[in-house]
Chain A
Amino acid sequence: MVETFIQLMLGGVIAGSVYALIAISLVLIHNGTGVVNFAFGDQLMAGVYVLVFSQHFLGLSLAPAVAIAVVVSGLFGLAIQFLVMAPLRNRPVLIPIVATIAIGAVLREGIRAFMGPNAWPVPFLLSTSPYHIGGVSIVPSDLAILGTSVIIMLCLYAFFEFTKYGQAILAACANPTGALIVGIPAGATTTSIWILSSMLAAIAGIVIAPLTTLTPDIGLIAIKGFAAAVLGGFASLPGAVVGGVLLGIIEAMAGYYISSAMKDIASYAVLVAVIVFRPTGLFNRASIRKV
């Protein structure tokens, strides 16, 4: 039935938007710093807990609580850069990656100790009451996830494409030494990326958490974000979005047309196939190095 197919597509795209939101941030930080940030899921979680704390214990309304969560998350990114990444900048790349795992564990267990292991309710940004159009249920709160993902993608695209600062960051990422010669400080660029991606973590969390329920383990969702980023090539922002949405759609279709037990198997089979037959991902060109 057509409406069943559309409903599945919609569900897949919404779930895929969640993955895409995470994948975008992972790609951004990887492109800018060379680090795969395994703490991202926990940063996402911590950002939402700041929002919940601001609302429940400081009595703030949603808008200022969101602002505080995003700012605090950005400051946390700044702290990561200055206290952890900067001192490790000349170490093998594996060391900062392991450091992100440690940061994630500290955040997760710290939040669990302070806010408890139970779920906290998080307000939806839009209504959860569905509209039924032609036999298809459309939920505004789900569309908020899709919309946020698209808006962030467009903002990042505009920032990197049309602003001098964005261009400077891209230049520093591509060639740190060359960028330094023309007056672009690599350190400031890296710091900006940590702040920006950490703010994105909070935004992603605030959008996703009402759907998924907020617990200290919500960051596990980042695993799907990693898969989406790999599918897209781990270097391309549009690739991250397409990878995420594709992953969501494959899961939904496989879950319905094959079996719910095959949801993950099908999506990871596609991921493995892409890695085997197109190791650079769907949206990344193979780099050629002349020797």
Chain B
Amino acid sequence: MVTRRDTLKIAGAAMVLAAAKTTYAAENTGVTDDKIRIGILGDLTGFAAIWGSGNLSGGTMAFEEINAAGGINGRKLEYISVDSESSAPKGIAGFKRLVDQEKVFAIFGPTSSAVGVPMLRTMAGSGVPIFISAFSSPLATNPPSKNIFRSGTLNDADQGKILANYVTRISSKRSIAIMRQSDEYGKTGAINVVAQLKEIGNVKFIEEQFNASDTDFTSQLLRIRQSDADVLVVYGYPAPSAIVFRQVKQLSLPLQIVGSTATTSRSYAATVGKEAVGARSMFPTKYLPEGADVEIVKFRNAFEVRFPDLARQTRPEATDQMAYHGAKTLIEGLRRAGRDLTRETLIKALEGLKNFETGIANASTFGPDRREGNRSAYVVEVKEGLGRMILPGEYSAI
């Protein structure tokens, strides 16, 4: 006779079995005998498209190349792109679509802090491996989530620290001016610069702010002129930063400008004009996209063939380059995870990457408690004729 207790036991066992089956299904969702489904999530429209389109082009190139080379452990990559439209709600909706409807195995993106930060809880709770190549909020990897990795770009906490160390070193008066955008991007960057300046000690600083749509910075720069600062850190988007760079020279302020990584697009110096000469910016790698390094030249040539419409827009840019590097790092993780691919084995494989080189960006290193692949930067300077060069020296945040 089957007792009530037996019925409960059988039901309990069935539930455990069902849960185990679901977990297993979730663990290798998107993986078939011959395919791995990857979602590419990024801002292709809206203000943040500058990063999303790079994520798509760099990712697409790397995935197409590995498919042409026979795939990964007998499987080809199948990728689905979703536009998060520079909007956090659209980003969350896009993420859920990729996970719940498209049943992808892993996601490459998202691409901007404004979209990615509000998504962090959703992403961390999903268990889906996420690989970020573009956005720079430190919250993506600190505190680390098991399934969220970033490589290529430099996060704003590390960048703030490196910037502070660098400008203190080059300031003969140990007096620094900071101009930062009033939004989260500028605020996060400036907070970290100031924190590190305080940590260094015996450094004076003045902080001014601006809006991304401002066209005149006379008032901020005249306030800075009253200080004895000899170095100016500009932490803002390319368009307002370009006007700041120009107005510093037009007002004849004796300041060495050092911009954030947002001021390093290939056409940036041309948009500033001749006033850009001598200005410096942080750069997340020693390889400029227009450079002559072997792997960079190969990448640039392949990019121009694959995306002729983007090439006429003075691309590849650093965003394309970082995404290509990020995608190749993800591919390496998939390769090392082996034929018996699960989300767990991919995460373990990524954690095992140490100084993984692609030749177009800083090497990536992860670990059980480390989700930030790149933690160092270089300084790029605009030369006469508006060409650029990487200055000697690598600056680490560790």
Q: Which A residues touch B270, using CB under 8 A?
A: 121
Does A54 touch B at the CB level, under 8 Å?
no
C-alpha gap A105/B185 in the complex (Å): 25
Are A119 and B271 CB-contacts (below 8 A) given A128-B246, A137-B252, A251-B216? yes
Residues 15-26 of B, flagged 1 when their CB comes within 8 A of A and 0 if not, give: 000000000000
Q: B213–A211 contact, CB under 8 A?
A: no
Does A229 touch B at the CB level, under 8 Å?
no
Nearest to A224 among chain B residues (CB) is B213
C-alpha gap A266/B85 in the complex (Å): 32
Q: B45–A118 contact, CB under 8 A?
A: no
Q: Which A residues touch B306, using CB under 8 A?
A: none
Q: How many residues of A contact B (CB 8 A)?
A: 51
Are A260 and B215 CB-contacts (below 8 A) given A119-B267, A130-B252? no
Nearest to A218 among chain B residues (CB) is B239
From the candidates B53, B211, B250, B251, name the one contacting A116 in the complex (CB within 8 A).
B53
Interface-located stretch among A3-11, A60-68, A91-99, A157-165: A3-11
B379 to A: closest C-beta gap in Å: 21
Q: B238–A217 contact, CB under 8 A?
A: no
Residues 54-71 of B, flagged 1 when their CB comes within 8 A of A and 0 if not, give: 000000000000000000
Does B208 touch A at the CB level, under 8 Å?
yes
From the candidates B45, B213, B252, B315, name the one contacting A109 in the complex (CB within 8 A).
B45
Does A189 touch B at the CB level, under 8 Å?
no
B321 to A: closest C-beta gap in Å: 14
Q: B222–A115 contact, CB under 8 A?
A: no
C-alpha gap A223/B238 in the complex (Å): 20
Residues 267-282 of B, flagged 1 when their CB comes within 8 A of A and 0 if not, give: 1101101110000000
Q: How many residues of B contact A (CB 8 A)?
A: 43
C-alpha gap A200/B49 in the complex (Å): 28
Q: Which of A137, A254, A263 has the most chain B CB within a 10 Å cutoff?
A: A263
Residues 88-116 of A, flagged 1 when their CB comes within 8 A of B and 0 if not, give: 00000000000000000000010011011
Q: A255–B220 contact, CB under 8 A?
A: yes
From the candidates B208, B242, B246, name the one contacting A260 in the complex (CB within 8 A).
B208
C-alpha gap A66/B21 in the complex (Å): 66
Interface-located stretch among A12-20, A171-179, A233-241: A12-20
B244 to A: closest C-beta gap in Å: 11
Does B310 touch A at the CB level, under 8 Å?
yes
Q: A252–B216 contact, CB under 8 A?
A: yes
Main secondary structure of the interface of A (DSSP, over half): helix
Q: A4–B222 contact, CB under 8 A?
A: yes
Does A186 touch B at the CB level, under 8 Å?
no
Q: A121–B250 contact, CB under 8 A?
A: no
Q: A261–B314 contact, CB under 8 A?
A: no
Which residues 274-310 in B have Cβ within 8 Å of A in the complex? 274-275, 310
Does B243 touch A at the CB level, under 8 Å?
yes
Q: How many contacting A-B pairs (Cβ < 8 A)?
A: 119
Are A248 and B216 CB-contacts (below 8 A) given A112-B49, A211-B243? yes
Q: Which B residues touch A251, using CB under 8 A?
A: 216, 219
Are A260 and B220 CB-contacts (below 8 A) given A112-B49, A117-B53, A118-B315? yes
Which residues 226-261 in B have Cβ within 8 Å of A in the complex? 238-239, 242-243, 246, 250-252
Q: Which A residues touch B251, using CB under 8 A?
A: 7, 130, 137
Q: Which B residues touch A212, using CB under 8 A?
A: 215, 239, 243
Nearest to B239 among chain A residues (CB) is A213
Does A192 touch B at the CB level, under 8 Å?
no
Does A220 touch B at the CB level, under 8 Å?
yes
Does B209 touch A at the CB level, under 8 Å?
yes
Q: Which B residues touch A15, using CB under 8 A?
A: 215-216
Q: Which B residues touch A76, using CB under 8 A?
A: none
Q: Which of A113, A118, A253 has the most chain B CB within a 10 Å cutoff?
A: A118
Q: Which A residues touch B53, using CB under 8 A?
A: 116-117
| A to B CB contacts below 8 Å, 29 in the list | A4-B222, A7-B251, A11-B218, A112-B45, A113-B45, A115-B313, A119-B271, A120-B271, A121-B267, A121-B270, A128-B250, A137-B252, A208-B215, A211-B215, A211-B243, A213-B239, A213-B243, A216-B49, A220-B213, A221-B215, A223-B213, A224-B213, A251-B219, A253-B219, A254-B219, A255-B218, A256-B222, A256-B223, A263-B210
Question: 10 closest pairs, A vs B, by CB?
Answer: A255-B219, A11-B218, A116-B313, A15-B216, A256-B219, A121-B270, A117-B50, A117-B49, A213-B239, A260-B208
Residues of A whose CB lies within 8 Å of any CB of B are 4, 7-8, 10-12, 14-15, 18, 57, 109, 112-113, 115-122, 124, 128, 130, 132, 137, 139, 208, 211-218, 220-221, 223-224, 248, 251-256, 260-261, 263-264
Task: Given contact pairs A112-B49, A113-B45, A252-B216, enumerate 16 new A-B contacts (beta carbons under 8 Å).
Answer: A4-B222, A7-B218, A15-B216, A18-B215, A119-B265, A119-B267, A119-B271, A130-B251, A211-B215, A212-B215, A212-B243, A217-B47, A221-B213, A256-B218, A260-B209, A261-B182
